[in-house]
Amino acid sequence: MKKIIALIFVAIMIVSLVACDNDTSNDNNKNNNQDHTHHFEEWQTTQKATCTEDGTKVRYCSCGEMQTQTISALGHTEVIDALVDATCSATGLTEGKHCSVCNAILVEQKIIEKSTDDDAHNWVYATYEWATHCLWCGLEIGEPIPKPELTSTAYDLQLESSSHTCYITVENLDEVTLVYEIDDESIISCRWGDWDDMTTSITIYPISSGSTFVTIYVEEDPDIKITIDVSISEHSHSYTKTVVEPQCLVGGYTTYSCACGYSYNADQTPAKGHTEVIDPAVPATPTSTGLTEGKHCSDCGKVIIVQSTTPKDYSSIAESVTFSLTNNLSQEYSYISSMTLYTKCKIESVDYSVTASSAERITLKINFMLKKTHQGNTSMSNIKFRYTLYRDGVAVKTGEILVTGAHLDTLYEKTLTYTGEPGTYTMTCESVWY
């Protein structure tokens, strides 16, 4: 009987110890929940803001907690719809406004009725055939202008080694175009001179001996004309040479000029083409854009190959960032040291990558390969560890990484992403009972 009582007592003590242990673990879970500090990831836009409607963005903690913020409506981007003046034949529009993003009408354009003002017409001024009139509505003002008259005496010119100038009076000179024709261009050449009020001049230069006629008339009305009889005595030209050097795209030549006023061009030389000079490429930096290689002509300055702008290069920023893990979670952990080990979490390998979005911001991605190497005497299959990320020795991010349903000796991949400033990054890890 004593043995039976003793066995019953031992059984009661074991049950009490187990119950006590379960209560302790429940208290630990409560304390863990009470000690949790939220560490939120970057904001993610879930609804973009429009001109008139607010948007929203959210961010999450690793525990599942979510925060929401409102993105204020952007407001309209005003664009002016230009004023359209009314004319004698068409209506106009007042100035208006609309939004260039959503095309909403902000200030409606109103119709302006046709105008009867003089400046609303498209005037075509009087000629010999018609009066001043509006090209759009046909309204006429006044009468056609009178035909001009040429007044001059027929010249019988005796030219030797100098030029001779004939002065011609023309009414309405600013309304007409004078032209001339030479019967025999091997005898003389002619050039228009300046005019003063109604008087213009034509200068005649001898080329060789002989006689010819110069006819001067109004281009708008060839019936209005005068003729000059020109007679040239024997003349021997004495030329001076002026060399015009070839350019990149234009050939060269030599001008031969006589003191009598006659000249001609000869001895053409081909264009020499561009002299190419390389405009070296300018590498981009984190703070400035670059340029591609180009070319230009060192003689005329023409751009042969345009240099294109290259975007800012942040690769040097990314290359300056380093990362190291100071704890590889190779330790075993248990919640009661006197009992069988509960879990074992190990980081098999870790690698990272860095990308830079500006001279001030980088994105660090840390990739873990995790393994559960011990199960213990329980069916729990999750593994979990807590980490702290430091930049230049200062903690910038803390959190926990969890793998649910983990199997022994199986590799699991987990990636942690952090966006911040460039620097030297380190991370420490510690296993968390789970």
The pLDDT tens digits of the residues spanning 153-179 come to: 666 677 766 778 888 888 777 778 889
Q: Kindly state whether residues 350 and 390 are assigned to the same domain.
A: yes
Cα–chain center distance at 309: 9
> Does 117 fall in a domain?
no
Contact 368, 375 (CB under 8 A): no
Same domain? 223 vs 297 = no
pLDDT at 27: 46
Contact 234, 205 (CB under 8 A): no
pTM: 0.37
In a domain, 38, yes or no: no
* Domain match, 288 and 337 both: no
Residue numbers of the domain that contains 250: 239-269
What is the domain count for the chain? Answer: 4
Task: Tell me, yes or no, whether 254 lies in a domain.
Answer: yes
Sole residue written with tokens 């009178």: 146
Q: What is the DSSP letter of 40?
A: B
Residue 306 and residue 256 in one domain: no
CB 387 within 8 A of CB 417: no
400 in the same domain as 321:
yes
Residue 372, beta-bridge partner list = 345, 408
pLDDT tens by residue, the chain, 434 residues? 555 555 565 555 554 444 444 444 444 444 445 578 888 888 888 898 898 899 898 898 888 788 899 999 889 998 899 998 888 888 889 999 999 888 899 899 999 888 777 677 888 877 767 888 888 888 888 788 777 788 776 666 777 667 788 888 887 777 788 899 999 988 888 888 887 778 888 888 888 888 899 999 988 888 888 888 888 877 777 889 999 999 888 888 999 988 776 778 888 889 888 999 999 999 998 888 999 999 999 988 889 899 999 998 888 899 899 999 987 776 554 444 444 445 567 888 899 999 998 888 999 999 999 888 776 655 567 788 889 999 999 999 999 988 888 888 889 999 999 999 999 999 998 877 65
Structure token pair of residue 345:
């979490």
Q: Do 426 and 390 fall within a single domain?
A: yes
Query: In this structure, is residue 203 part of a structural domain?
Result: yes
Q: Are both 176 and 209 inside the same structural domain? A: yes
* Residue 205 resides in a domain: yes
Same structural domain for residues 324 and 415?
A: yes
CATH number at residue 354: 2.60.40
